[in-house]
Amino acid sequence: MRRFAEIEDLSELVRDALGAGRRVVAVDRLRGGTKKGVYRVRLDGPRTESVIVCSWAEDENFWPSTRADDPADPFAPASGIVPFLAAQRTLHDLGVRVPQVLLADDSRRRYPADVTVIEDVTGGTLEDLFDSNPERASGALGELAEMLGVMHRSRARNYGRVDLLERGDCVSEVSCERRVLDRALEDLKEAAGRDDSIAGAEAALHDRLRQLAERVSPRTEYGLIHGELGPDHVLVDADGRPVLIDIEDLMYFDVEWEHVFLRLRFHERYAVLDRPGLDPRRLDLYMLAMRLSLVAGPLRLLDGDFPGRVFMQGIANHNARQALALLPSV
């Protein structure tokens, strides 16, 4: 039985972040997290009405451990206070709006896990605003495109998660496209063992991945990408500005990887986020690789006790169909 945080667990932490005299009156665990717990903590008093607490306790991580992690692999699971704080600093220094950190604690004295107390951006997600307030959403989407331009123009000679590059000991000599290919081949093998439609086309998908990878030319400079940027990972603040969340995967990598995910999640609204100069051959390889990742990943998550099972199965089924549709017609 997993144990999640309650009022008595978070009261001292929040008081230390905001000062004495603040009383926690309610704690709500927000839905959707798979690697960390995210809690809205409601307070009494005339000032801040609520804050967000992020907890990286073991009970908050629903992912089964199935792969040996290569520390130089930017796709290795990114979870914890270290990648979060490195990403927050990097984006803040670029002028990209992220929630303000009010307290970060990895001592385990206040709470038996790494935790942060951060600003609660209460304007809702961009995804919800597309339906509830299209005009406000349109303005935020345009500013998001500008933010992404700033990020993608931030360049590095090496790729990898920002926290690993800060340490300086995880530089990889394997190219981005080779990383994506190797990961896609693993995802294909895993998906084929769990999904009959993928199993039936495993050889064709394997050959197609290798064909697409052979067409990609080398590259030696990389842009800063969020890594999993859907409209549900963008909040909108009181001023209508987009605020990036779930930032632990922030990395320098081929920006085409970001744009493939943006295409999948923003659909017809992606046109606002598109940019000239993307490599079409990388986009082709990365799209198929992304589809296979979105089959294998959700099915792997379902090996555990993640509660949103129907939703995750739906993601896997949809992306299996889309992966098969990317095979050339005979």
pLDDT tens digits, one per residue of 31-52:
867 889 999 999 987 667 999 9
Whether the pLDDT of residue 297 is over 60: the answer is: yes
Q: Pick from 80, 68, 232, 263: which is nearest to 161 by CA?
A: 80
Provide the edge-to-edge strand list for the sheet that holds 155-156: 155-156, 222-225, 251-253, 160-161
Mean pLDDT for 115-125 is 95
Position with higher pLDDT, 33 vs 271: 271
Residues whose CB falls within 8 Å of the CB of residue 299, separated by 6 or more in sequence, listed in order: 190, 191, 194, 195, 312, 313, 316
Taking the C-alpha atoms of residue 26 and residue 132, their distance in angstroms, rounded to an integer, is: 26
Give residue-wise pLDDT tens across range 40-98. 999 987 667 999 999 999 888 887 765 556 767 888 877 789 999 999 999 999 999 99
Whether the pLDDT of residue 211 is over 80: the answer is: yes
Residue 167, pLDDT score: 84
Q: Pick from 5, 269, 40, 225: which is nearest to 137 by CA?
A: 269
Residue 179: burial class (beta carbons within 10 Å; 0-12, 13-18, 19+): buried
Helices (H), 173-279: 176-192, 196-200, 202-214, 255-266
Helix (H, G, I), strand (E, B) or coil at 105: strand
CA distances from 153 to 11, 150, 222, 252 (A): 41, 5, 9, 11
* Token pair for 259: 């744009």
Residue 133, pLDDT score: 96
- pTM across the whole model: 0.93
User: Sign of the C-alpha dihedral, residues 172, 178, 183, 185?
Assistant: negative
CA distances from 135 to 125, 130, 142, 147, 263 (A): 14, 8, 11, 19, 21
**CB atoms inside a 10 Å sphere around CB 109:** 9
Are the C-beta atoms of 274 and 259 separated by less than 8 Å? Answer: yes
Instruction: State the average pLDDT for the chain.
Output: 92
Residue type for position 313: Q
**Domains within the chain, CATH numbers bracketed:** 7-69+99-119 (3.30.200), 126-325 (3.90.1200.10)
Please identify which residue in the block is written with the tokens 């307030």.
Answer: 133
What is the DSSP secondary structure assignment for residue 256, as one 8-state letter?
Answer: H
